[in-house]
Amino acid sequence: MESLKRTTEGATPPLRRRCNLRRPWLIAILISVIIVVIIVIVVPLAVILPKKHHHKVKAAKVLFPVYIYPETNTTWDPLYEAITTHPELDFIVIVNPSSGPGSSPPSTQYQVAVKRLSTYSNVQKVGYIPTNYADRNITEVLEAVATYSNWTSESSTLSMDGIFFDEIPYDWNSTKSEYLTQINEAVKNSSGIASPQLIIHNPGTIPDSRYNDTTTDITVVFEQSYSYYETQVNALEDLSTSRRGNYSYMLHSMPTMSNHTLKNFIDDLSDRAEYLFLTTLEANYYEKFDPKLEVFCDMVPTTE
């Protein structure tokens, strides 16, 4: 019995020893597998998935070109509907009777349409005038400003709140700069253009910084398709965000996006430009109402 007892007490259980020796190796193997999974799966996803923007969403406004002749009292209904259903969203509507003001006063149909716009507190109206990149005879441009100004004499509800000058030069030229100064002064000195006498320039691209001046309220620094925007985004991001209140983006040919993706995209635009216009239309995009107009308006941030 004593010999048997010694043997039993002196022997070390072989199975337990093997288990204790293997456990650290198993843990090490499991840790290695987890690390490999992280490297193979998680890291590529972090690279592929878009980075979240942590900037603060900034309120924006809609710069809306309506180059559609109001044949009937219902022609502009999609615009009126968007304005009515988004009372918290401000609209600057570009009116363009005939590649400019046309006659003074405008036709009866146009008067009805413009007067209705005047009934909305969240709408400002600006008259369209092209300058052919400052090559158009300046007398014609000044006469167009005067025509819009004279609309007020017909009715105060026809008055414009500013002028949208299209086809503005972007490459520096001192003569053209003086041209722009003169047409801006014409707006600011016009008694028939209502306060705030907005002046909007549309070069359609980033202009030479020497064109920056205190009398131009808004500059359209991008007016092109969504696909072209993707090639210019870096240059646009380089513009100072401190001047976002002076910038506008106008994009056409927008692709189909989920509401979540579209919302993130518009929030990103609004961080760099206060005045926006987006349309899915690929042709005649200022002469038709986009079926997605309401969706676009829903996504524009109105609070910060």
CATH of the domain at 160: 3.20.20.80
Whether 53 is in a domain gets the answer: no
Give φ, ψ of 277 to 5 degrees: -150, 125
65 and 44 share a domain? no
Answer yes or no: are the C-beta atoms of 220 and 206 closer than 8 Å: no
Residue 301 token pair: 């941030």
Same domain, 222 and 292: yes
- Amino acid letter for position 132: N
Question: How does DSSP classify residue 206?
Answer: P
Residue 304: inside a domain: no
Structure tokens, 2: 């004593």
pLDDT given at position 135: 98
| 192 and 119 within one domain | yes
DSSP letters spanning 119-144: T-TTEEEEEEEE-TTTTS-HHHHHHH
Q: Are 89 and 122 in contact (CB under 8 A)?
A: yes
- Same domain flag for 27 and 99: no
Q: Which of 155, 264, 289, 273 is nearest to 220 (CA)?
A: 273
What pLDDT is attached to residue 4?
A: 36
Report the b/e string of 242-254 with b at 16+ CB within 10 A.
eebebbbbbbbbb
Q: What pLDDT is stored for residue 151 in this prediction?
A: 96
Q: Within this chain, do residues 200 and 175 fall inside the same structural domain, yes or no?
A: yes
Does residue 91 belong to any structural domain of this protein?
A: yes
Q: What are phi and psi of 104, to 5 degrees?
A: -130, 115
Residues 66 and 198 in one domain: yes
Same domain, yes or no, for 101 and 6?
Answer: no
Asked if 228 and 222 count as a contact pair (C-beta separation under 8 A), the reply is no
Residue 83: predicted pLDDT:
98
More confident residue, 284 or 54: 284
Q: Of 35-39, 57-61, 111-115, 144-148, where does mean pLDDT reach its minimum?
A: 35-39
Give mean pLDDT, residues 242-247. 95
pLDDT at 241: 87
Whether residues 42 and 119 share a domain: the answer is: no
* Confidence tier at 24 by pLDDT (50, 70, 90): low
Same domain, residue pair 178 and 203: yes
Per-residue pLDDT at 277: 98
Q: State the pLDDT confidence band at 3, using cuts at 50, 70 and 90.
A: very low
CA distances from 192 to 49, 156, 187, 214 (A): 53, 9, 9, 21
Residue 246 DSSP class: G
Q: Which two tokens stand for residue 138?
A: 């300046």
Cβ count within 10 A of residue 52: 7
- Say yes or no: 11 and 65 in one domain: no
Q: Nearest-5° angle of CA 49, CA 53, CA 57?
A: 145
Q: How far is CA 92 from CA 10, 22, 164, 171, in A?
A: 95, 74, 10, 27
> How confident is residue 25, by pLDDT bands cut at 50, 70 and 90?
low
Who wins on pLDDT, 304 or 177? 177
Say if residue 39 is in the same domain as residue 125: no
What's the pLDDT tens digit per position in 35-52? 544 554 444 444 344 444
Is the domain of 41 the same as that of 144? no
> Would you say residue 224 has pLDDT above 70?
yes
Measure Cα distances from 66 to 78, 96, 114, 134, 198 in Å. 11, 7, 11, 23, 17
Segment (H or E) for 224? strand 218-225
Question: What does R_g of the chain's alpha carbons equal in angstroms?
Answer: 31
Q: Is 258 helix (H, G, I), strand (E, B) or coil?
A: coil
Q: How many independent structural domains does the chain possess?
A: 2
What does the pLDDT average to over 116-132? 98
In this prediction, residue 57 has a pLDDT band, given cuts at 50, 70 and 90, of confident
Identify the three-state secondary structure at position 228. Answer: helix
Name the residue range of residue 206's domain.
Answer: 61-299
- With contact defined as beta carbons under 8 Å apart, do 277 and 249 qualify? yes
Please tell me the distance from the alpha carbon of residue 267 to that of residue 261, in angstroms, as a whole number.
10
**Summary mean pLDDT of the chain:** 87
Question: How far, in Å, CA of 116 to CA of 112, rounded?
Answer: 6
